[in-house]
Amino acid sequence: MIPKEYCHVEMSFHTAADTFKKQLHTAIEHSHSPARLELLKKRLRNIKGKIIVCFYINWGETVSCRYLSEIITEPYFRPPEEPVYDVIPLKMNVEESEKIINFNLKNIGKPYDYMRAILSLAPITLRTPDLPDKFYCAQLVLYTLKEIGIEIDGDINHQTPLSVHKFLESIKDRHMDTNGGSKSDSK
C-alpha cells in the first residue's frame, strides 16, 4: 500500500545567514551530532544575507540539513517549486522559528526509523517514548510542528507523507506565509 501521491515530506525556510550561524553555534553543545553542526557552520563562514535552509531525513539516512539556492539546476538543491514539489507555506513568528530550528539542529544525525516508516503503511504501530531516538520523514515534520503547538489528530508516530500533506492543507489558512514552508515530493 504505497501512498498515491506523496512519498516524502520535509521543511524549508528562509533566514539570515548570520542568524543561522548563531543558532548553529548555540545548538552545538546539545546536538546529537556536534561535528555535523560544525560543518554546517563552516560552510556559512563567508556567506552573508538571506539563505534557505532545509531540514529532512531521506530513506535510510540520518536527520540532515542542506542549503537551497535558486541558481542550482538540480531540483533537490533548489527552493521547493512545482512540478517537483507541492509547497504549503506556514506562517511563524520569530520564537516559533527558533523552536523549529533548535529542535531540528538538536536532532541532526539521528538515524532513520525503518520500522515505523514501514508500519505507517500498515494498520498496526509500536509504542513510542515521548521523543523518539530515530525518525522517518513524516514523523520528523510532525514532531517539528509539535514544538510550536501544531499537532495532528492521531498517533504522530503512525503518519504517512500523504497524511502530513493532507494535515498541512487543512491548516494552511491559519498559518499562511510566503517565506519558505513545508514541501512534499510528488511521486
Model confidence at 85: pLDDT above 90: no
Helices (H), the chain: 17-27, 34-43, 94-107, 114-119, 137-146, 161-171
β partners of residue 87:
183
| Separation between Cα atoms, residue 7 and residue 121, nearest integer Å | 11
- Residue 46: is its pLDDT beyond 60? yes
Q: Report, as an integer, the average pLDDT of 44-57.
A: 96
Q: What is the rounded CA–CA span in Å between residue 40 and residue 54?
A: 12
pTM: 0.87
Confidence at residue 122, expressed as pLDDT on a 0 to 100 scale: 85
Task: For residues 30 and 105, give the distance between their C-alpha atoms in angstroms, rounded to a whole number.
Answer: 9
Chain segment 102-150, per-residue pLDDT in tens: 999 999 999 999 999 999 888 877 777 678 899 999 999 999 999 999 9
Q: How far apart are CA 150 and CA 19, in angstroms?
A: 24
> For position 137, what pLDDT does the model report?
96
Q: Which amino acid is it at 178?
A: T
Residue pair 80/12 in contact (Cβ under 8 Å)? The answer is yes
Domain boundaries, the chain: 6-186
Enter the C-alpha cell of residue 169: 492543507
